[in-house]
Structure 1
Amino acid sequence: MTTLLAGFATLCQAKRTTAVYQVTPQPRTMGTVKANPYQLTSSTAIIVKDAALNNEAGFLRQYVKEQTGITLADKGKGITLKLNKKIKGKEDYTLKVRANGVTIEASTPAGIFYGVQFLRKSLPIEQSDTVSIPAVDVTDGPRYHYRGMELDCGRHFFPVETVKKFLDVLALHNMNTFHWHLTEDQGWRMPVPGWPRLTEVGAYRDQTVIGQNAGIFDGQRYGGSYTRQEMEDVVAYAAKLHITVIPEIDMPGHMLSALASYPELGCTGGPYKVGQQWGVFDDILCAGKESTFKFVEDVLDEVMAIFPSTYIHLGGDEAPKTRWQKCPLCQKRIADEHLTAKNGHSKEDALQGYFMSRMEKYLAKHGRKMIGWDEILEGDVDTSACIMSWRGMEGGLIASKKGHDVIMTPGDYCYIDHYQLKNSPVLNIGGYLPLSKVYSFEPAPESLPQSAKDHIIGAQANLWTEYVYAPEMAFYQALPRLAALCEVTWTPAADKNYDNFLERLPLLEKFYKLLGVKYCKTIE
């Protein structure tokens, strides 16, 4: 009798919870089915039909344990992950739940991974013995194949642990690209063989301006850099999450850290200092010296050795021509290359076009492609170059009509270093970008011809870090605005609904708490 009573008590104490399909981003199609739910318990096992899916199975097992406390069985039946070449999109998947199990199918491991993310975000974050998963049919896939976020580690340095946490956050939001901004006027973050002073000197500034360039400094040396092994570790970790890491080495401007390390790379020969305040500086790489191109090629050789991405970001923005106008070597280059002013742009602008085009060809010779900010359109760059449109959308629209692939990242919609609250508790660079405005973003306007729309490959959130000096603040700036952009880039435009998004947001916020990251709790 005592044994029976104990067993009955244990049964009564068993915790039962239910999965809820309030997932962000919203899937393409989802239909509930009149059938019994599947009961996920410690007897549930993950069935993998192909060893290529062991990575995805591992993440699913981890998610279930973290969220519910349930350790899935090593053998048995329950959740099937299966490759199906009949599913067309590389990131598309189907998910089917019935009383006898859950099945996720896709043509690639990436598709399976996004199916796993849907299932994960449907499960409760609550200790459970049994999770009831309602019967459902889901057919899903992204609207755009480029869904990204940029983190500026040049102005403020973030350790590898923080970068990996950002990758975890990107995966939660079905984002597949991490744009890693590695060099700036205020700091150089990666070592390059043969150029040791880049990290010995260029990685550190003597002090940092306080406030918004108030002319008051903190007097504290600041900086840091990654080792090659750390960067390779980030790339490998991202690959497991089906995230491509695109490095950015901004040129020919935003190079004070390199000039402070090697003054001979500038037009005047210096002396130069690693940037201590924010803004745009006149001193940039000298385009008249062959040694400058040797330096850039050495940097790119190391970048390509570490990062396998097809695209390499070469910047090309905010490069004043003040020094080039007075530099005899730059003027000689202009004459030798027969560069002229045209279409409202100076001959020095044409020299930047020469610079970027030469580097684009160097990447192409190694099987890579260039991404550049929309300023590179002012030069003669090949249509193989991808344009990142940040000064509004106009540059991207023009580029798409010319045949360039385009990533839309206009400041008015995608710069998440801007204020998200009118009365913000933290200091930001400026602007005002509330959650609702991010959600309203349309990367490809209806008026754009279809041939040009086909060249809009996606969108990206940019987190510049002049005033983002700590990991907690970086996540606070990103979240939940990244959730809005993930739905912009994943969900069909016609299916977006901001009120419905807000209803789903509290469930996503539970994941932010689980990951241990800060987020803005006030919505405007």
Structure 2
Amino acid sequence: MKTMKLILAFFLLAGIAVSAQAEINIIPRPVSVVPGNGSFTLTEKTAIVSGEATRPEASYLAGILAKAFGEKPHIKAKGKGIELKLNATLKDSLGDEGYLLTVESKRIVIEAATRAGVFYGIQSLRQLLPPAFEFHPGKGKSAAVPVVAIADKPRFAWRGFMLDVSRHFKGVDVVKSMLDQMALMKMNVFHWHLTDDQGWRIEIKKYPKLTSVGSYRKDTQAARHSDKREGKPHSGFYTQEQIKDIIAYATARHINIVPEIEMPGHASAAIAAYPWLSTLGTTTEVPVTFGKLPDSFNIADPRVIQFLEDVLTEVFNLFPGKVVHIGGDEVMYDAWKKSKAMQALMKKEGLTSPADLQIWFTNRISQFVDSTGHRMMGWNEILGDNVHEWLDPADTQVKQTLAKSAIIEFWKGSLDLINKAVSNGYDVVNAYHRMTYLDYNYKTIPLSKAYSFNPIPEGLDPKYDSKILGFGCQMWSEWIPTTKSMDLKVFPRLAAYAEVGWTPLADKNYQRFLGALHNMEQRWQLEGIDYHKGEE
């Protein structure tokens, strides 16, 4: 490998003996790790050497080291210490997110083509330190950083984690904590599921009832297929100022936030706030039960289309990223089949089925999204395929073709549908539920199964590999009401998914991963993060 030869040559030129014995426990496993002999002693006097271009990363690293020493180290423009460097020539070999990390006895150098690469080099440096190093600050502390040379870059550009805050609101601090864990393990897409039947969680100034009404439900279903209720209301939403704060926090960690605004189904909370949005006209309050609910946006009404465009406009103005997720899953077509307005629209547009109508609607939204310089993403139902056993096959006979600019998030159906999507020109994020749903228990998706996930399906023609942007792992929260219950489902499987997205397939090794996981588990203990122990 070119990068391997480059780093090994640099390492040997530095006059450092190569050791095959040292074990480097970094998650996700780097592409190339060349251990050496000896160590660098990190103390409170160690400076961070950085130019203006990498000053944000230098400040971030200074904040991390302050947790150990009680004060921030000095940042200077020249000299030795922990040196952060940009080198545009590395882009050819390491891409936009790769980095070189070289630890010598007298200095540490992190070099990359971009600031993102430098940031990921910092995350690897953090994991070379003892797990307890960042905790319990004190004067006079020191840590030995093993001599090593690392050349690294990700396998996939899209390494995503989704958090559903609609069913159970999680607040600001929980989101920031998850962003910190994502950053440590080099995950770069936070998919934020902000709206659903059971709660609308994002402030939209033009439509204040979305949060004054739509963020509140009077009770919550306590168990699947049960009439039992929790016996207390549930509410909460993010103000636009809070969202801006979270976006800034994510941006500093090189994480892009993809907001999800569900349409045309999973819309009951919005309909409770503004009943004129409804197809059925029967939704009067935010539902307290989970599952697939019958109502949806009345997409035959021009006022509803305008409402959705207004909402998306405020979303675009808030979020700097270019991708917006519109959901599109689990639309209950019975309401559309009974609606005179929907049937008249289908006849007017020459549409053959409810799925055809959904594609027509989704394309209209896609045209609006594209016109603003953004890109639409949705669950794979937006293609019109029949992926549910409860659907009438006649309802998914389609003639419409989804806009090619759409990103498909595959979560359900035959894996052949991925082949069909990429061969038809679509970009795909693989979030196959049987492999990536974090709300599933460990018997269904044990840690080893999560680790074994390959976002590129077996049998996919290699010429389409580049159409698989990466993967997503999903934390749905219907039955996950507390932070503790969420953490127990997310950790340690999030670490497995991090390696799925970053480490070359041929370099993955589950037993080695388990060895590295011990250090991560110590970190979680010190941070007060609950994690699941054992396979099941």
In the superposition, the TM-score normalised over structure 2's length comes to 0.88
1:315 is paired with a residue of what secondary structure? Answer: coil
In the alignment, the residues of structure 1 paired with residue 237 and residue 59 of structure 2 have an alpha-carbon distance, to the nearest angstrom, of: 31
Using a 3 Å threshold, how does the CA distance of structure 1 residues 205 and 243 change in structure 2: closer, same or farther? same
Partner of 1:37: 39
Aligned-residue offset at 1:446: 4.4
The equivalent of 1:118 in structure 2 is: 124
Amino acid across the alignment from 1:117 = Q
Q: Offset of 1:289 from its aligned partner?
A: 0.7
Out of 142, 164, 187, the residue aligned to residue 175 of structure 1 is: 187
Q: CA deviation at 1:20?
A: 6.4
Q: Which residue does the alignment assign to 2:7? A: none
**Is residue 2:404 matched to residue 1:383?**
yes
Partner of 2:424: 402
- Mapped pair 1:411 → 2:423: no
1:38 deviates by 1.9
Partner of 1:78: 81
| Structure 1 contact 177–246 (Cα < 8 Å) conserved | yes
Mapping for residues 88-487 of structure 1, pairs under 5 Å = 88=91, 89-126=95-132, 129-340=141-352, 347-378=353-384, 380-392=401-413, 393-420=415-442, 422=443, 432-487=444-499
The 8 Å contact of residues 68 and 125 in structure 1, kept in 2 or not, is answered as no
Find the aligned partners of 2:368 and 2:110 in 1 and give their Cα distance. 42
Deviates more, 1:84-93 or 1:56-65: 56-65
Amino acid of the structure 2 residue aligned with 1:66: K
Q: Structure 1 37/203 Cα, relative in aligned 2: closer, same or farther at 3 Å?
A: same
Could you tell me how far apart the structure 2 residues matched to 1:225 and 1:394 are?
Answer: 39
Distance 2:465 2:298 in 1: 37
In structure 1, what is the Cα distance between the partners aligned to 2:214 and 2:458? 46
Partner of 1:61: 62
Whether the 8 Å CA contact 1:41–1:70 is kept in 2: the answer is: no
Q: Secondary structure at the match of 2:90?
A: coil
Cα distance in 1 for partners of 2:406, 2:238 equals 28
Equivalent position amino acid for 2:435 in 1: Y
Equivalent residues of 1:93, 1:111 under 8 A apart: yes
2:182 counterpart SS class: helix
Shift of 1:282: 1.2
User: Secondary structure of the residue that 1:260 maps to in structure 2?
Assistant: helix
Distance 2:408 2:530 in 1: 32
Contact 2:129-2:144 at 8 Å conserved across structures: no
RMSD value over aligned CA atoms?
1.7
Identity between Structure 1 and Structure 2 (%): 39
The structure-2 alpha-carbon separation of the partners of 1:29 and 1:69, relative to structure 1 and needing over 3 Å to count, comes to farther
Conserved 8 A contact 2:283-2:295:
no
Q: Give deviations 1:177-218, integer Å, cap 9, x for gaps.
A: 000000010001112222121111111111111211311223
- 8 Å Cα contact 1:187/1:257 also seen in 2: yes
Read off the aligned partner of 2:455 and give its amino acid letter: P
Whole-angstrom CA distance in 2 between matches of 1:322 and 1:199: 28
Matched residue SS, 1:116: helix
Question: 1:166 and 1:68, CA in 2 relative to 1: closer, same or farther beyond 3 A?
Answer: same
For 2:532, the equivalent position in structure 1 comes to: 520
> TM-score scaled by structure 1?
0.90
Structure 2 contact 44–69 (Cα < 8 Å) conserved:
no
Give the SS at the match of 1:245. Answer: strand
Give the superposition deviation at 1:68: 6.4
Structure-1 residue corresponding to 2:10: none
Please report how far the alpha carbon of residue 135 of structure 1 lies from its aligned counterpart in structure 2 after TM superposition: 2.0
Q: Equivalents in 2 of 1:457, 1:267: separation in Å?
A: 35
Structure 1 gap ranges (5+): 1-18, 341-346, 423-431
The Cα shift of 1:222 comes to: 1.2
Residue 502, structure 1, aligned to residue 503, structure 2: no
Structure 2 distance, partners of 1:119, 1:194, is: 46
Q: Do the aligned residues in 2 keep the contact of 1:263 with 1:271 (CA within 8 Å)?
A: yes
Cα distance in 2 between the residues matched to 1:68 and 1:448: 50
**In the alignment, what sits opposite 1:10?**
none
Deviation at 1:69, TM superposition (A): 6.0
Residues 131, 520 of structure 2: 8 Å contact kept: no
Q: Alpha-carbon deviation of 1:96?
A: 0.9
Please list the CA deviations of residues 138-177 of structure 1 after superposition, one character each: whole Å capped at 9, or x if unmatched. 1001000000100000100011111111111111111000
1:47 aligns with 2:68: no
Paired residue for 1:13?
A: none
Give the counterpart letter for 1:54 in structure 2: R
In 2, the alpha carbon distance for the partners of 1:116 and 1:188 equals: 37
Q: Displacement of 1:334 after TM fit? A: 0.6
- Secondary structure of residue in 2 paired with 1:518: coil
With over 3 angstroms needed to count, the CA separation of the structure-2 counterparts of 1:279 and 1:294, relative to structure 1, is: same
The amino acid of 1:381's aligned partner reads L
Q: Please give the per-residue CA displacement for 1:237-268, whole angstroms capped at 9, x wherever unaligned.
A: 10000000000011100000011111111123
The number of aligned residues is 488
